[in-house]
Amino acid sequence: MLKINEKIKIDLKKGERAAQYSSLINLFLAIIKGIVGFLSGSIALIADSIHSFSDIFASLAVYIGLKLSRRKPDEKFPYGYYKVETFASLIVSALIIITGVEIAFDSFNAFLNPSIIEIPLISLFVAALSVVISFLLARYKEKIGREIGSHALINDGKHSFVDILSSLIVFIGILCSYIGYLGVDGISGIFVALLIVYIGLKLAKDDVMVLLDASMDPEKIKQIRTIAEGVNCVEAVHDIKIRRSGPFIFVELHLETQKGLPVKRAYEISNKVREAIKDEIQNVDSLTVQIEPFKKEKLRIAVPVENKEGMKSAISKHFNKAPYILIADVFHDKVADITIRDSPWARYDNERRIKVAEFLRKEKVDILVKSEVMEDQMHILSDELMDIIGPDGITLEEIIKNAAKKG
């Protein structure tokens, strides 16, 4: 399996090649459409030629952005140069808008002053050829863009899909002019211009949102939450934050784990979460995990007592000699339910410490209130991931509620 940084380099090179091919193909289309448009007098074809020239600069901007994105992080840019790619995508969007406005003005003039199109059959062939090539190029760029997670290349692919529609409108305009409807060529140009401006504004909005670190991918957040919660010992996941930087995303999240986990164990869990997320989501560059103890809504509290009188029972001062143990469920600072059991350790001598731990684990006790516990028992009971605290309060109810607050 390739290391992540090696994979990133391979992906970015693949994107660079796609941008290079796009520039060369658009240069070919721009020259052909420009020459035929000038010779035929078709304003729509000339506008489409200008559009193709803007595509060249757009693809070059993507190429430069991807090239710079490969630079390693340094002291000045500790998070890398990935956002250069997004900035390049914004330049692409701006060029699309500018091109659309220029085409609109030229097309409106052509509508007011229509002229006969010369060499119409050649013009129709060039427009049809542009439709086919733009379709293949759009599919190619969008495919590569999605493979490597390049937002700029995906945008450039969408721009090429606009080229398909604009060339198709040009084809219809020339065909209508050929059969006698001269003004349609100018109207076609206006439709192309409006379409171009709309797409440019939409793409520019997305680019600006990315540069401002806006959260734009709720499905990705949902996917990350599902992956993290699937890791053993993770109780809950919250405060998931995602920001896109070029073709990659940076993730921050908070994990809630079982209370009392050793530091080493918590570190292992956070590493498992990182690995699981990066295995599923390939374009994650950085993932920050913060571990927090899981806060239960309902806590189970155990208190050694001397008698079976419910909440009026007397607390035993000697944990090892208590005849009974009261177990209370506390939900939203209220004692929801209590039970009193016979002491599980009074019947044992040699295995008393183990039996105590087994009993409390079986009862799923979260907090043990004690007056005194032997040091060796403290070690065993703390290994069961429960809090052990002293009594705080006068009445049994106060002691249980205060224990829940501390837990």
Give the pLDDT of residue 247.
Answer: 63
Question: What pTM did the predictor assign?
Answer: 0.51
Q: What residue spans of 253-374 are helical by DSSP H?
A: 263-280, 352-362
Give the pLDDT of residue 193.
Answer: 78
| Superfamily of domain 298-406, CATH level 4 | Dinitrogenase iron-molybdenum cofactor biosynthesis domain (3.30.420.130)
Which tokens sit at 275? Answer: 């690995």
Domain ranges of the chain: 4-211, 218-293, 298-406
Which helix (DSSP H) or strand (DSSP E) does residue 228 occupy?
Answer: helix 218-229
Assigned CATH for 218-293: 3.30.70.1350
Give the pLDDT of residue 6.
Answer: 59
**Residues 6+ away with beta carbon under 8 Å from 341:** 324, 325, 327, 363
**Residues 6+ away with beta carbon under 8 Å from 247:** 11, 12, 15, 69, 82, 85, 148, 149, 150, 151, 152, 283
Give pLDDT tens digits for 298-341.
Answer: 788 888 888 888 888 888 877 777 888 888 888 877 888 888 88
**Beta bridge pairs of residue 338:** 328
State the Rg of the chain over Cα: 35
Give the pLDDT of residue 174.
Answer: 79
Q: Which residues of 268-303 are buried (b: 16+ CB within 10 A; e: fewer)?
A: ebbebbbebbbeebebbbebebebeeeebeebbbbb
- Tell me the Ramachandran region of residue 241: left when phi exceeds 0, alpha when psi lies from -120 to 50, beta otherwise: beta
Give the pLDDT of residue 118.
Answer: 78
Give the pLDDT of residue 188.
Answer: 73
How far apart (Å, rounded) are the C-alpha atoms in residues 92 and 60? 9
Q: Is the dihedral of CA 18, 22, 24, 25 positive or negative?
A: positive
How far apart (Å, rounded) are the C-alpha atoms in residues 165 and 163? 5
How far apart (Å, rounded) are the C-alpha atoms in residues 358 and 348? 13
Assigned CATH for 4-211: 1.20.1510.10
Give the pLDDT of residue 376.
Answer: 47
Q: What are phi and psi of 239, to 5 degrees?
A: 50, 50
How far apart (Å, rounded) are the C-alpha atoms in residues 92 and 58? 5
Which helix (DSSP H) or strand (DSSP E) does residue 53 occupy?
Answer: helix 43-69
169 with 157: CB under 8 angstroms?
Answer: no
Give pLDDT tens digits for 333-349.
Answer: 788 888 888 877 655 55
Beta strands in 170-247 (DSSP E): 234-245
Closest CA to 8 of 76, 80, 60: 80
- Distinct helix (H) and strand (E) counts, the chain: 11, 8
83 with 209: CB under 8 angstroms?
Answer: no
**Residue 393 CB burial class (10 angstroms; 0-12, 13-18, ≥19):** middle
DSSP annotation of 328 reads E
Q: What are phi and psi of 101, to 5 degrees?
A: -65, -45
Listed as ranges, residues in the chain with pLDDT below 70 are 1-12, 54, 57-58, 61-62, 65-66, 68-70, 115, 151-152, 185, 215-216, 246-247, 258-263, 282, 293-297, 345-354, 371-387, 406-407
Closest CA to 280 of 235, 228, 213, 236: 228
Give the pLDDT of residue 349.
Answer: 56
Which helix (DSSP H) or strand (DSSP E) does residue 340 occupy?
Answer: strand 334-342
Give the pLDDT of residue 123.
Answer: 85
DSSP annotation of 372 reads -
